[in-house]
Amino acid sequence: MEIFIERVENPESWDIELESFRGSVFMTRKWIEVISSHERNPLYLRFVNDKEVVAVLAGIQLLNAKGTAKQLFFYSGITAKTKDPELIRKCKLALYEFAKNNNYYRVSMRSYDHISYVPAKLKQFKEKQRTEFITFLDDDKDEIYKSFSLDIIKRARRAKKKGVILKNSYSTSLTEKMLTLLNETYNIRKSKGYGRYSYFFLPFFKHEEINKLVTARHATFYYAEFQNEILSILFIFSCRGRAYGIFQATSLNGYKLGAPAFLKYEVTGVLKDTGYQYYNHGGVPGSLKHKGLRKFKEKIGAEPVSSSEELTNFLTSPLNLLNPWMNLKRVLRNLKIFPSKITNAIIKIIDIILNKRDEY
């Protein structure tokens, strides 16, 4: 089987084509166009075998100051119609050769909403396992609600009885409020012993991109309100029947009133009623310090779905001289050879050498 890559020059019908592959919401044109800028050019790819499109991939080309392409970045991995590991391996090899032949210095494939993931290791790509939690909305609403724990159901109903109500909005005026609540949520979690994390976990997705998504009505603010006070906000990006919860932010009073449970319970029902296929609640940082967040997502009945981020080392000279340092950094993180303080000190030195070139 020989695979060659075809660039899609006119992506007008890309989202329809992507749907037939069950591709990630982060490979849709809706997402890619919002993320694109002068430094980030959209890229849509088809993998073709014997005149048949067997897989697809979409992302961005990261550019340098001169405007020349430097790196290929994808929010999700290659998606094929068949779950054939050998096909995926051949597609990844084709992508690797495509990058080298076009002088891209690196390929980075994250795995956000990669529900069609197929394990297919290839030595040219380094892998990092991750898990997201998804509520599939195929069953009727009563069956879906049965998957929620009794504790979540009680908290949601108690909040509603006290007068907490669900609202939604496409107003960018809520962006600042959400960012304030995200910071408050971070501080609350930190006080409970959670590890450090960045709530802007999606690369290149910041304030401006949030507003672009909302203005285009590709994303919705769902929020819990009590006596004119916004307690908690869910920010959900959606496309063609698929929903991804990017942010959930809650105040201290919101936690006391059970707003996170209320929001998850109510919004799941809304998405079911409006015909969505699934609701992806996102992932959880790997550290054991975040086990409380994982437990919450399990208690709302979400199923764990595994996938893998896949990244190459540097492909072009002279950057490929830094590959041994990148490999050492991975070994230190994965094998935990030394005490954490020593490991972190060595990694800091390596990061100075790499100078953020491996950031994405």
Q: Bridge partners of 49?
A: 52
Q: Is the pLDDT of residue 194 over 80?
A: no
CATH fold for domain 4-131+307-316: Aminopeptidase (3.40.630)
pLDDT recorded at residue 189: 85
Which candidate, 267, 272, 229, 276, places its Cα nearest to that of 248? 267
pLDDT recorded at residue 163: 96
Pairing of strands 69-74, 106-109: parallel
Condensed to tens digits (0 to 9), the pLDDT of residues 278-329 reads 999 998 866 556 677 788 899 999 999 999 999 999 999 899 999 999 999 9
Q: Is the pLDDT of residue 340 over 70?
A: yes
Share of the chain above pLDDT 70, in %: 98
Q: Is the pLDDT of residue 243 over 70?
A: yes
Q: Is the pLDDT of residue 71 over 90?
A: yes
**Surface-to-core class of residue 217, CB atoms within 10 Å of its CB (0-12 exposed, 13-18 middle, 19+ buried):** exposed
Task: Provide CB contacts within 8 A for 345, sequence distance 6+.
Answer: none
Full DSSP string of 260-298: HHHHHHHHHHHHHHTT-SEEEEEE--SSGGGHHHHHHHH
Condensed to tens digits (0 to 9), the pLDDT of residues 253-276 reads 999 999 999 999 999 999 999 999
Q: What is the band of 143 on the pLDDT scale with cuts at 50, 70, 90?
A: very high
pLDDT recorded at residue 334: 81
Q: Is the pLDDT of residue 86 over 90?
A: yes
Tell me what the mean pLDDT of segment 87-96 comes to. Answer: 96
pLDDT recorded at residue 224: 97
Condensed to tens digits (0 to 9), the pLDDT of residues 195-227 reads 677 889 999 999 999 999 999 999 999 999 999
Which candidate, 263, 128, 249, 242, places its Cα nearest to that of 200? 249
pLDDT recorded at residue 288: 54
pLDDT recorded at residue 1: 79
Share of the chain above pLDDT 90, in %: 80
Q: Mean pLDDT score of the chain, rounded to an integer?
A: 92
CB 45 within 8 A of CB 32: no
pLDDT recorded at residue 293: 79
pLDDT recorded at residue 284: 80
From-to residues of CATH 3.40.630.30 in the chain: 4-131+307-316, 148-300
Q: What is the band of 152 on the pLDDT scale with cuts at 50, 70, 90?
A: very high
Tell me what the mean pLDDT of segment 56-65 comes to. Answer: 91
pTM reported for the whole predicted model: 0.92
CATH code, 148-300: 3.40.630.30
